[in-house]
Amino acid sequence: MTYKINKVIGGFKELEIYKGNEYFIDALRINNARNSLRYIIRAFNIKEIHIPFYTCSTVWQSIQKENCKIKFYRIDKNLFPCETFKSNDFILYNNYFGVNSKNVDVICSKYTNVIVDNAQAFYMKKQGIACFNSARKFFGVPDGSYLYTDKITEDEIPTDNTSHLRFSHLIKRIDLSPEEAYCDYVENEDKLSLEPVKYMSKLTQKLLSGIDYENDKNIRLQNFNYLHSKLKDINELKINISADDVPMIYPFLVNKPDLRKKLIESKIYIAKYWDNKGLNTFETYLCNNLVPLPIDSRYSIDDMEIILNRIKELL
């Protein structure tokens, strides 16, 4: 009798990854956040959607790829929409910085068709008619997004098998340095922007099964709370997180447009959210003055002290 073997036995070993569990086991696994949004538009056959001016350009670019009309809305200093919507409007709302679940709860209670962009709030679970996150904004993975939705598209969707081609920046950062890996990071981001809607790759799924999520959450909250205890009196954003919030960064808003640049010169690398739209609005003020301070599980309270001391020198 001949036995049929469906798995490879022997040969060289693959990348060693701790064998644990993914954080979400009942969500759809999509190749990235922007494509989770595209999946939602297809599944609900959305022809028009309200989105905030203050969001990543990849959001509206993804919507345009689905031939869906965009209506922009503004947010106030509490990061809440400035306008009211019709009961049947489709509304995309950002859970900004992972500190905004109270706003999400209010909006979802007022409107029927709310889609929650949790790209900056990985740990949030089902909200609205659909919600999605971004794994690579929180962890060292090349791509990946978990999607909760009330509807499933009937489109044929392949599984991604190209994550290994967008892996170089993660390896180079370990072997070389963040500076030497940055060009690869930019190149890989450009590659990702061209990817069609696919299901998450086996590589990314396996990487996401090897993360100590409880440790990550605890350290993020510890670092966030420490920074907030020191900066809340001068932070123009009045932050009041709920028990559900696990922040991506500490959003420090201060009228000092060169602070971000000065911190980067000190090798404290600070992202920018998002492009200045050239308007005299609160969104423009956020673009120019928000300093998103890193708080993730690579860092300790000692690292937070380094950041705080440099900020004190610069203010």
Q: Is-contact 284 276, C-beta < 8 A?
A: yes
* Domain definitions of the chain by residue range: 28-160+199-208, 213-314
Which is the CATH superfamily of the domain at 213-314? Aspartate Aminotransferase, domain 1 (3.90.1150.10)
Closest CA to 248 of 46, 126, 144, 94: 94
pLDDT at 57 over 80: yes
Rounded distance between C-alpha atoms, residue 205 and residue 144, angstroms: 8
Question: Can you read off the two tokens belonging to residue 43?
Answer: 């599944």
Question: Can you read off the two tokens belonging to residue 187?
Answer: 């190149």
**H helix and E strand count, the chain:** 10, 9
- Average pLDDT (6-31) is 82
Q: Is-contact 231 252, C-beta < 8 A?
A: yes
- Average pLDDT (73-98) is 95
Rounded distance between C-alpha atoms, residue 313 and residue 315, angstroms: 6
pLDDT at 136 over 80: yes
Mean pLDDT of the chain: 92
The least confident of 160-169, 197-206, 244-253 is: 160-169
H or E stretch including 189?
A: helix 178-193
Q: What per-residue confidence (pLDDT) applies to 276? A: 61
Q: What is the CATH number of domain 28-160+199-208?
A: 3.40.640.10
Q: What per-residue confidence (pLDDT) applies to 29? A: 97
Q: What per-residue confidence (pLDDT) applies to 1? A: 55
DSSP 204: H
Closest CA to 35 of 172, 204, 175: 204
- Average pLDDT (143-161) is 94
Q: Is-contact 268 305, C-beta < 8 A?
A: no
Per-residue pLDDT band for 150 (boundaries 50, 70, 90) equals confident
